[in-house]
Chains A and B, each alone.
Chain A
Amino acid sequence: MNMRKNLCKAVLGCIFSLAGVLLLSACGSSGASDLHEAEGYYFDTDVELKINDKNGEALLKKCFSLCEELENTFSPSSSSSELYKINRRTSDTVTVSDDMADCLEEALTWCSRTDGAFDITIYPVSSLWDFRSGKTEIPDEAAIDSALAKVDYTKVHLDGNELTFDSPDTMLDLGGIAKGYASAKIKKMLKEEGVSSALINLGGNVSTLGLKSSGTKWTVGIQKPFADRGETLTTVKSSDSCVISAGIYERYFEKDGKLYHHILDPKTGYPKETDLNQATVISTDDAMSDALSTICILYGQEKAEEFIKSQGLDVTVLFTDKNNNITWFPEESSDLSAS
């Protein structure tokens, strides 16, 4: 009799557990994820943040105020920004903020490493082309020549927070590195706040911290050049790394069948003739990814590979040629690609 009672209980247990399982599965996967997402507009581009943390909302706000602060440091066009004031300085020596000094130091390193192929004093030329405003006119040749005469990074000297210019008409454009510096700074702040999982997307400069809430790496799509925004060539898995693409499709106009893109050659003052549509640099150093992606376009694939080898840079590059065919460098890196 006792056994039967137990059996009875067991049967009831079966039914209830089954019902429980059904209920649970019906409720769906409302798991314990603390994903907080937000979008904003800084650095002339869309900023997208994903933070997996219970304090996500407060941290998002903190990130955006940091973006605002950095924009107010590096914006070349906002009249209240530090860079704007540096470019319109009244004396040859100016004292700059720590962020400006850090970013400039890194930027000037890339200028000298590339022997001026990458040059942050391109501002007189880039403001002439003014791709940011959507201008579609080729500047006057004489204007380009006179602007080009002002481009020379060796006229800029940084000593601590003291920035000295040899020439009063030298002007800086940190567009090729500032976003990388910004994402690194945001990532560092989040890390210090104890965040273990986040994604920072500054207008396509994608920087990741840790793993997704599902425990897998973040998936970063590589924009297909000249295709609709969001259409991807391939995807890469990213964790604690930064994926940045530079390409001739980002800002450009066509005139008389010729394409004029925004990656300007500091030697000629015109858009750089290149064999690449795009270069994507993956590394743990956001500012390097940013600068190097532009450098790759300026150098072209062959010279870029040589440069990375000779400098011993710990990076992975995805080259996209004019037909949107992709090659990995180093070659064996293709396993980064999500299959």
Chain B
Amino acid sequence: MKRNDWILIAVLTLIPAILLTGNIIAAQKIASPCLVITVDGSTFGIYDLNEDRIIDINGKNTCTIKDGEASMTYADCPGQNCVHSAAIGKEGGSIVCLPNRVILKIENAAVTAERPDAVTG
């Protein structure tokens, strides 16, 4: 076998290894709670709850992520139900703006039902 073969094999090992690591990190990220915004049934965007930001949704709604919670801070609809909805955090939940068909939803909500080590009487 030529030296170049070894180098080639090394490169061909490293590239998938790096990709695999990236995938695993990405998978862990996906598994943590995140905010998914859908408009009219199609995904508008997926956002990390740990990053404070303001998301403009087609100029009709504004979603604000702050301190790990997401809330609808603006809607151009008359009802304003979504604006008055309680903020949603990593425990899950959703906020819906029906007139604009915008849905804020927490995916991969934190699972609270860990199997206990023992149960009281």
Contacts and interface: CB of A to CB of B under 8 A. Distances in A.
Interface in A235-280: 235, 243-247, 250, 280
Nearest to A207: B118
Contact of A11 (B9, B114, B115): B9
B115 to A, nearest CB: 8
Interface stretch (A56-64, A121-129, A196-204, A303-311): A196-204
A245 B121 CA distance: 6
Contacts of A203: 121
A138 interface: no
A50 interface: yes
A219 B114 contact: yes
Interface in A197-245: 199, 201, 203-206, 212, 218-223, 229-230, 232, 235, 243-245
A232 B113 CA distance: 9
Contacts of A45: 121
Contacts of B110: 339
A226 B18 CA distance: 53
Contact of A218 (B9, B13, B17, B117): B117
A221 B3 CA distance: 61
B32 to A, nearest CB: 15
B67 interface: no
Contacts of A246: 121
Given A7-B6, A11-B6, A232 B112 contact: no
Nearest to B16: A18
B27 interface: no
B117 A220 contact: yes
Smallest CB-CB A-B distances: 7 pairs: A204-B121, A221-B116, A11-B10, A245-B120, A221-B119, A201-B118, A219-B116
Contact of B119 (A18, A230, A250, A339): A230
Given A11-B6, A11-B7, A206 B13 contact: no
B55 to A, nearest CB: 26
B112 A221 contact: no
B121 A218 contact: no
A247 B7 CA distance: 70
Interface in B17-34: 17
Nearest to B4: A4
A132 B6 CA distance: 76
A8 B120 contact: no
Given A219-B115, A244-B120, 9 more contacts: A11-B13, A14-B13, A14-B14, A14-B17, A201-B118, A218-B118, A219-B117, A221-B119, A246-B121
A187 to B, nearest CB: 14
B7 A7 contact: yes
B118 A206 contact: yes
A4 B116 contact: no
B119 A222 contact: yes
